[in-house]
Amino acid sequence: MAELTTKVLVIGGGPGGYVCAIRAGQLGLDVVLVERGGTDGGLGGTCLNVGCIPSKAIIHAAEAYAHAVEQSTTAPFGIRVERPSIDFARTIEWKDGIVGRLTSGVAALLKRHRVRIVQGHATMIDGKTCQVETDTGTDRIRAEHVVLATGSQPAAIPSLPFGGRVISSTEALALTAVPERLVVVGAGYIGLELGTAFAKLGSTVTILEAEDRILPAYDAELVRPVARRLKALGVEVLTATRASGLSESGGAVMVGERAIAADRILVATGRRARIEGFGLERLDLTMNGQVVRIDEHCMTSMRNVWAIGDVTGEPMLAHRAMAQGVVVAEQIAGHRRVFDAQAIPAVCFTDPEIVTVGLSPDEARKSGREVLTASFPLQANGRALSMAAEDGFVRVVARADNHVILGIAAVGAHVSELAGSFALALEMGARLEDIGGTIHAHPTLGEAFHEASLRALGEALHI
Amino acid sequence: MGIRIIKLPDVGEGVAEAEVVEWHVQVGQSVLEDQVLAAVMTDKATVEIPSPVAGKVLALGAEIGGVLAVGAELVRLEVAGEGDSEVAAAPREAVPPAAPTRPVAMPTPEPERAAPSMPVATTRTPAGPPRAAGEKPLASPAVRRRAREVGVDLRQVRGSGPAGRIGHEDLDAFLRGASGPAKAATRGANTDVETVKVIGLRRRIAQKMADAKRRVAHFSYVEEVDVTALEELRASLNARQDTTRLTLMPFLMLALVKAVAAFPDMNALYDDEGETIERHGGVHIGIATQTSAGLMVPVVRHCEARDLWDCAAEVRRLAEAARENRASRAELTGSTITITSLGALGGIVTTPVVNRPEVAIIGVNKQVVRPVWRDSQFVPRTMMNLSSSFDHRVIDGYVAAQFVQRIKALLETPATIFMES
């Protein structure tokens, strides 16, 4: 048995874990990172291997194909395309190439910062020690600090356990052929992103949602353009509907009396923190329901045991995990830090995209404040029109008394790229006048943010 | 009518620049020949610069606190007759004639009345209303991070930015202890900030101390000395009515003279740039002296040639001169070793700062009568600590300790101070 000692032990090589390890390495700390690998992981974690990145590649390819199909039928820009077809195996190959480039990039960064990577399944023995089953035997690693970054995994539902035709997002991103009939259970962002992509790729898609509307976590106004687009793509959306299970033959999903035939059933009802199978119970950490409880320092109830990312609960977003990873690494290096982000942007890569930062108008009002809110439609934005993407808007919410911005949201094609400027505005404590006084380049989608801020002040120019 | 430029004259040997600490004239004022124009401070002495001619002041060459090189324009005068021929070509320093009539930016009521090193004060009150209860402080990530690093809870800090946004300057103000808590103050928090310009002697002390701390590798050594016998001797000498009253100081000075004879490296100047040590035969002892303007170190020259009463009289004379700001430049420079005494104030230990380029400074602490174990019983003895610092770059700790032990031995058996060796 090999014995290793280190200052920092990071369990999990996802966006939280690898960023924490890199930052700790930059700060001169001795770091060991344990990554178990497997079909749903590896360096880069869910995000790089079976989440953000591959899904964006598939979404992009699907969008390109849908464009080609559109040109071949209505030719809105006058481009003539004859009978487009897709070689999905090549699409997957291309996607895998991107994933490969990014994960080997992560490996190179870790190496450059002298992070030792141990491949294998880690089991915590106590708060300072873990045992790793590697290909070559068992390693025992002792560390002063342990960072739990084990991430999350797709949540299963009892009526449709994973297996056979019932797949999670992980398998959906590794399909070798486009399923003819796809049923998506759950109209959250994962279900909608993949459901929309497969609809564009040619699947007949039915989406089931237990709540009474799609994207229940977002306000109705933002979701409306997405619902319109789903309808236009021919996606059947059944809200307030629960699947009771598979049909007897297993070839259909039962919804009440109705059997919806499906080649694949994608269950995307959410993700669950990965808290089992690595000896977490031995640490006797205080839990917060099914996630590890942490304080503002990302410290668990045990001294020098830290936790970051999805294993600590919502919002389960890669960028949150990365920021937490940095905060933890710097604290271990002796700096005073706290995870005090004012705004964690959230993006749905649906069609069109949705980005939200901070409070919605209703949430802002619930805090008992007088608020100003204003939207600017992309129909009045030159850049949106020139991209044939006029459905959507940018909306700001600000305090009525001092005009400090409380929340920003947008729905529209490519609006995900505005997430940075939205988050910056909130982090800097910007007022409507600050945005109004900032020149936004013309013609860009960002002008809609400018105009929405001006409109909240009663000074909009282009509407 | 012509223009005459009065340049800063050479005010002392080796002086390259001087700081303007007081203006006796202002723009527009008529001056007579020999009327004092300004007071400038060189290394330590303050020198008054008289006008060589009569005329009207057109411009002043610097603000108070400004440093001028020797030969730089001090005052521009309008004089009868031709004036200087090279005026047109002469580069103007700092304040042009068109500037506001008073070059002093500070709103002190009568700048021309300010004493040479009196601090010039301004007040500023940080803006920003108190935050309402429960309101989250508004601050950028960089400000939040800095606050965290210095351990400040931003809820306590007032923001002067739009909508009460807390900026770096608000954090600075809070760290200076200026900004009141963000909550509505119940007892009328005093939020005034007084900005005192560091000029004159204080600036020189600051520079010198920082320089010493930056360059000298300080090594401090504390030893207790039984001064019972010395105090008995001093009391009996002081009992003689006809002589000057003696303090401990002259005894220590003569003990130093004696000790440095065996340790010539202690009575030396270390030129760290030239990498040479200049051992001095003459023992010129600097006496750290507190004055109303700040610390000064008048020098008792050639202590090796002085007797006890001579040393005592010279210390007294120089201390008075320093306190009355009469000490000449020569009296304030040239020491080879320094004594600092806070004994009268109490204190067990001090960590004196070496008076660069010297290499040793001896600090005197308070005398106390303490029970001391002698033979088989406690006896009351008058004890005193010596806290000394050395430049460890050139004085090893072992040698420093030997040196202090030598002084201790001399002081404990005071007769040896006066014996020819």
The answer to whether residue A337 is domain-embedded is no
Residue A454 to chain B, least CA–CA distance (Å): 17
> Nearest CA to CA, how far is A440 from chain B (Å)?
21
pLDDT at B196: 86
Q: Give residue B180's pLDDT.
A: 57
Q: Residue A332 half-sphere exposure, CB side, CA atoms within 13 Å? A: 35
Three-state secondary-structure class, residue B283: coil
pLDDT(A57) > 50: yes
Q: What pLDDT shows up at residue B117? A: 41
* pLDDT at residue B40 is higher than 90: no
Taking one residue from A and the other from B, the number of pairs with CB-CB distance under 8 angstroms is 30
Q: Mutating which of B135, B165, B166, B170 best tests the A interface, going by the most A Cβ atoms within 10 A?
A: B165
Chain A residues with beta carbon closer than 8 angstroms to that of B145: 337
Does residue A317 share a domain with residue A209? Answer: no
Q: State whether B207 and B331 are in the same domain.
A: yes
Same-domain check for residues B173 and B278: no
Contact A371, A406 (CB under 8 A): yes
The residue from B150, B166, B195 where one domain ends is: B195
CB contact at 8 A, B337 and B360: yes
Q: Averaged over B137-145, what is the pLDDT?
A: 88
Query: A326, A402, A432: best mutation site toward chain B, by most B Cβ within 10 Å?
Result: A402
Residues B238 and B387 placed together within one structural domain of the fold: yes
Q: Quickly state the pLDDT bin for A382 (edges 50, 70, 90).
A: very high
Q: Are residues A119 and A252 in the same domain?
A: no
Say whether both A238 and A383 belong to one domain.
Answer: no
pLDDT of residue B179 exceeding 80, the answer is no
pLDDT at B123 exceeding the cut of 80: no
Cβ–Cβ below 8 Å for B162 and A338: no
Catalytic residue (one of A60, A113, A414, A442): A442
Cβ count within 10 A of residue B85: 9
A240's tokens: 């307030």
Residues from chain B contacting residue A399 (CB–CB below 8 Å): 163
Q: Does B329 reside within a domain?
A: yes
What end-to-end distance do the CA atoms of chain A give, in Å? 71
Q: Quick check: A87 pLDDT over 80?
A: yes
| pLDDT above 60 (res B99) | no
B72, B221: one domain? no
When mean pLDDT is compared across A176-180, A310-314, B271-275, B408-412, the lowest value belongs to B271-275
B149: which chain A residues are within 8 Å (Cβ-Cβ)? Answer: 335-336
Q: Select the more confidently predicted residue: B323 or A203.
A: A203
Angle at B276 between CA B271 and CA B278, to 5 degrees: 80
Q: Which two tokens stand for residue B229?
A: 């016998």
Domain span at residue B78 reads: 2-101
pLDDT at B98 > cutoff 60: no
**Number of domains comprising chain A:** 3
| Segment B359-389, tens digit of pLDDT | 999 999 999 999 999 889 999 999 999 999 9
DSSP code per residue over A219-276: -HHHHHHHHHHHHHTT-EEE-S----EE-TTSSEEEETTEEEE-SEEEE-S-EEE--S
Q: Which domain holds residue A209?
A: 166-269
Cβ contact A428–B140 (<8 Å): yes
pLDDT above 60 (res A216) = yes
Number of structural domains in chain B: 3
Which of B138, B144, B145 lies nearest to residue A404, judging by beta carbons? B138
| Statement to judge: residues A231 and A95 lie in one domain | no
| B205 and B347 inside one domain | yes
Q: Do A336 and B138 touch (CB under 8 A)?
A: no
pTM tops 0.80: no
Say if the Cβ atoms of A429 and B165 lie within 8 Å: yes
Compute CA distances A458 → A375, A382, A432, A435, A436, whole Å.
Answer: 12, 21, 11, 14, 11
Q: Does residue A288 sit in the same domain as residue A391?
A: no
Give the gap in angstroms from C-alpha A425 to the nearest C-alpha of chain B: 10
**Distance, CA of B256 to CA of B306 (rounded, Å):** 12
Length in residues, chain A: 463
Are residue A95 and residue A180 in the same domain, yes or no?
A: no
CATH number of the domain within which B339 lies: 3.30.559.10
DSSP code, position B303: G
Are residues A354 and A418 both part of a single domain? yes
Predicted confidence (pLDDT) at residue B100 exceeds the cutoff of 60 = no
Residues A446 and A356 placed together within one structural domain of the fold: yes
Distance CA A435, CA A421 (A): 10
| Same domain as A430, residue A351 | yes
pLDDT at B258 over 50: yes
Distance from CA of A324 to the nearest CA of B (A): 14
pLDDT over threshold 70, residue B43: no
Q: How far is Cα B356 from Cα B216, in angstroms, rounded to an integer?
A: 8
Using an 8 Å Cβ cutoff, are B294 and B199 in contact? no
| Domain co-membership, B205 together with B334 | yes
Cross-chain Cβ contact A428/B163 below 8 Å:
no
CB contact under 8 A, B141 and A427: yes
User: Which chain A residues have a beta carbon less than 8 Å from that of B140?
Assistant: 427-429
Mean pLDDT of all residues in chain B? 82
**Cβ-nearest to A427 among B140, B148, B163:** B140
For the ranges A310-324, B78-92, B299-313, B329-343, the one whose mean pLDDT is highest: A310-324
Q: Can you tell me the distance from the alpha carbon of B22 to that of B12, in angstroms, rounded to the nearest whole number?
A: 18
Please indicate whether, in this complex, the C-beta atoms of A404 and B141 are within 8 angstroms of each other. Answer: no
d(CA A142, CA A130): 7
* Residues B200, B41: Cα–Cα separation, whole Å: 7
For residue B401, what is the enclosing H or E element?
Answer: helix B397-412
Find the CATH number of the domain harbouring B175: 4.10.320.10
Mean of the per-residue pLDDT values for chain A?
94
Query: Does residue B92 belong to any structural domain of this protein?
Result: yes
- Of B137, B171, B195, the last residue of a domain is B195
Of B145, B148, B163, the CB nearest to A431: B163
On chain B, the residues whose CB falls within 8 A of the CB of A431 are 162-163
Whether residues A402 and B163 touch (CB distance < 8 A) is answered with yes
Domain end position, chosen among A269, A295, A310: A269
How many of the other CB atoms lie within 10 Å of CB of A273? 24
**B142 Cα to chain A: minimum distance (Å):** 9
Give me the percent of chain A exceeding a pLDDT of 90. 91
How many Cβ atoms sit within 10 Å of the Cβ of residue B207? 11
CATH of the domain at B29: 2.40.50.100
pLDDT digits (tens, 9 = 90+) for B202-255: 888 999 999 999 999 999 999 999 999 999 999 998 888 677 788 999 999 999
H/E run at residue B163: none
Positive or negative, the CA dihedral B343, B346, B349, B350 is negative
For B2-26, the pLDDT digits (tens) are: 888 888 887 766 677 888 888 888 8
Verify whether the Cβ–Cβ distance A431 to B149 is below 8 Å. Answer: no
Radius of gyration from C-alpha coordinates of chain A: 23
ipTM: 0.70
* Residues A327 and A355 both lie in one domain: no
Reply yes or no on whether B392 is catalytic. yes
What pLDDT score does B187 carry? 62
pLDDT digits (tens, 9 = 90+) for B282-312: 999 999 998 888 899 999 999 999 999 899 9
Q: Would you place residue B163 in the very low, low, confident or very high pLDDT band (cuts 50, 70, 90)? A: confident
Contact B148 A337 (CB under 8 A): yes
Query: Is the same domain home to A261 and A281?
Result: no
Across B129-142, average pLDDT: 79
* Residue B188 pLDDT: 61
- Catalytic status, residue A442: yes
What CATH number does the domain containing A240 carry?
A: 3.50.50.60
Nearest-angstrom CA–CA distance, A167 and A195: 13
Tell me, yes or no, whether A13 and A124 share the same domain: yes
Q: Nearest-CA neighbor of B222 among B91, B408, B379?
A: B408
Which pLDDT tens digit goes with each residue over A287-329?
999 999 999 999 999 999 999 999 999 999 999 999 999 999 9
Q: Which of B11-20, B121-130, B171-180, B248-257 has the highest mean pLDDT?
A: B248-257
Instruction: Give the CATH number of the domain where residue A377 resides.
Output: 3.30.390.30
How far is Cα of residue A98 from the mean position of the Cα atoms in its chain? 17
Residue B182 pLDDT class (50, 70, 90 cuts): low
| Nearest CA distance, A52 vs chain B (angstrom) | 26
pLDDT: which is higher, B324 or A181:
A181
| B50 pLDDT tier (thresholds 50, 70, 90) | confident
